[in-house]
Structure 1
Amino acid sequence: MPALVFDCDGVLADTERYGHLPAFNRTFEEFGLPVRWSDSDYAEKLKVGGGKERMKTLLTPDFIAEAGLPTEPGALDEQVARWHRRKTEIYQAIIAGGAIPPRPGVRRVAAEADAAGWTLAVASTSAEPSVRSVLELAAGPELAARFSVFAGDIVPRKKPAPDIYEYAVDHLGLDPAAVVVIEDSRNGLRAALDAGLGCAVTTSAYTRQEDFTGALLVVSSLGDPGPEETTTEVLSDPLGADPRPFVRLADLAFLLTGAPRPH
């Protein structure tokens, strides 16, 4: 059977700007670190996969000295791990507060895929507790329980490396030709493509201007029908799927055929 594999941040909910960024900055404040990331700073940090990895970009000799951090690599790693654990706690509290809405169409398309017998999964480089919090927000607890979750440090390399997708495909015994990945970033797209998987992109707050060459479909969102209708803006559609006014499971299934769609 086919499989639908979602990235988490930016795909299930627009969590980067309104969840991760404030959680990083509150963590820095709590630990007395001499840094606060602006919106533009964080847009650059998103080019680095993984929260701990983003934190480690701070660790220049000058920063280590100014913050009074240990210089021994193992002790530094332990310090970053403490920061990241606290950041994850703060982030989960933000998600639980309900201030960040799910992205349009995620629950609808996932429910349709589940009803059709598709395998559902999330593959993310974020910490697993964070991913599960966002998944429950986006899909609801009952549907979220139908997902397999692959996240955090279960693979050695983060996106854009394909490791997390290769791990998910192998663990679930999937046929790569029957998998559709939903991503929102160039790094995520590269990871999916290098794992041999077809990928559709729903652009998010920080990614709309990125290069999505190789994607089977690029849209503003999956969209949803009324009463609060969100229509899909099609940004790239090389196969002619024409998923309007919003993306349906049939449109994603069509992407697996790899052939232009008749009209």
Structure 2
Amino acid sequence: MSIEAIVFDLDGVIIDTEEVWEEVRRGYVAEHGREFLPDSQDRMMGMSTGEWSAHLADEVGVPRTAPEVAADVLGRMAGRYREALPLIPGSVETVRALGARYRLALASSSARILIDQVLETAGLTGAFEVTLSTEEVPRGKPAPDVYLEAVGKLGLTPGVCAAVEDSSNGLRSAAAAGLTVIAVPHGVYPPAEDALAGATLVVKAITEVTPETIAAL
């Protein structure tokens, strides 16, 4: 069955923000006299806003409510994006090239306010038929909810859709939803081997995801 649509992750695929997220959240936690748990960074990659803010408030111990933590951190992230958007080289061109041949959707763990700002700044507003935040579905990644919702909004089935992901939780989410998974592992935050094993194709850079590559899946 040939691929009809491609669903992109955002952080780590189109923009290189994992280090920014870690810096902002670690700094915020430190200001409140707390420290990340040993697995906090890995666990939060792919979590929805409600999930990671609850982790920082309830498990790490930041003395603020989860909604307050979310508002504080998202405000700082938005400020960083306004200063400089860390686009991954070739990502915008890749999206446009694939969009000329395939239907596109976006399934991100970022908050809606950040998704919309990134797309506007990158000149990609309108490039995707569907854009979804895990805030808008019951469960964040690694649950399949956001991918199933994106595919459903496209009016397609998972079997004719490919996903482009970088993180362990993202790869697991797309695989659990039944999409054909393309992995673009992050150099600093590589996915776990078991998550990577669910990918049909592993590439070194987003620029390797071409219309010809998709057609050959």
After TM superposition, the score normalised by the length of structure 1 is 0.71
Is residue 85 from structure 1 mapped to residue 68 from structure 2 by the alignment? no
Structure having the higher Rg: 1
Instruction: For 2:209 and 2:131, locate their aligned partners in 1 and report how far apart those are by CA, in whole Å.
Output: 23
Aligned to 1:34: 33
5+ long unaligned stretches in structure 1: 70-78, 224-245, 256-263
Would the alpha carbon gap of residues 107 and 60 (structure 1) be closer, same or farther in structure 2, given more than 3 Å must change?
Answer: closer
Aligned to 1:235: none
After TM superposition, the score normalised by the length of structure 2 is 0.84
Identity within the alignment, %: 29
Instruction: For 1:190 and 1:28, locate their aligned partners in 2 and report how far apart those are by CA, in whole Å.
Output: 28
1:221 deviates by 1.2
Would the alpha carbon gap of residues 97 and 163 (structure 1) be closer, same or farther in structure 2, given more than 3 Å must change?
Answer: same
User: Aligned partner of 2:68: which letter?
Assistant: R
1:12·1:134 contact (CA, 8 Å) conserved in 2? no
2:46·2:170 contact (CA, 8 Å) conserved in 1? no
User: Aligned partner of 1:122: which letter?
Assistant: L
**Secondary structure, aligned partner of 1:153:** helix
CA RMSD of aligned residues (A): 2.6
Is residue 10 from structure 1 mapped to residue 8 from structure 2 by the alignment? no
Instruction: For 1:61 and 1:83, locate their aligned partners in 2 and report how far apart those are by CA, in whole Å.
Output: 13
Instruction: For 1:26 and 1:207, locate their aligned partners in 2 and report how far apart those are by CA, in whole Å.
Output: 19
Deviations, residues 175-200 of structure 1 (Å, cap 9, x unaligned)? 32221110001211111111111010
User: 1:36-185 residue pairs with structure 2 within 5 A?
Assistant: 36-37=35-36, 42-46=40-44, 49-59=47-57, 63=61, 67=63, 79-98=65-84, 100-116=85-101, 118-137=102-121, 140-141=122-123, 143-147=124-128, 148-185=130-167
**Secondary structure, aligned partner of 2:212:** helix
User: Aligned partner of 1:14: which letter?
Assistant: D
Deviations, residues 67-118 of structure 1 (Å, cap 9, x unaligned)? 4x6xxxxxxxxx21122112112101111211x53123322221112222x2
Is residue 250 from structure 1 mapped to residue 212 from structure 2 by the alignment? yes
Please state which structure has a larger fraction of its residues in helix.
2
Instruction: For 1:114 and 1:62, locate their aligned partners in 2 and report how far apart those are by CA, in whole Å.
Output: 41
**Secondary structure, aligned partner of 1:129:** helix
1:206 deviates by 4.2
User: 1:203-218 residue pairs with structure 2 within 5 A?
Assistant: 203-208=185-190, 210-211=192-193, 212-218=196-202
Would the alpha carbon gap of residues 48 and 57 (structure 1) be closer, same or farther in structure 2, given more than 3 Å must change?
Answer: farther
Instruction: For 1:109 and 1:179, locate their aligned partners in 2 and report how far apart those are by CA, in whole Å.
Output: 17
5+ long unaligned stretches in structure 2: none
User: Aligned partner of 2:125: which letter?
Assistant: A
Report how many residues are paired: 212
**Secondary structure, aligned partner of 1:199:** strand
2:166·2:191 contact (CA, 8 Å) conserved in 1? no
Would the alpha carbon gap of residues 206 and 161 (structure 1) be closer, same or farther in structure 2, given more than 3 Å must change?
Answer: farther
1:113·1:249 contact (CA, 8 Å) conserved in 2? yes
Aligned to 1:239: none
2:165·2:181 contact (CA, 8 Å) conserved in 1? yes
1:173 deviates by 0.5
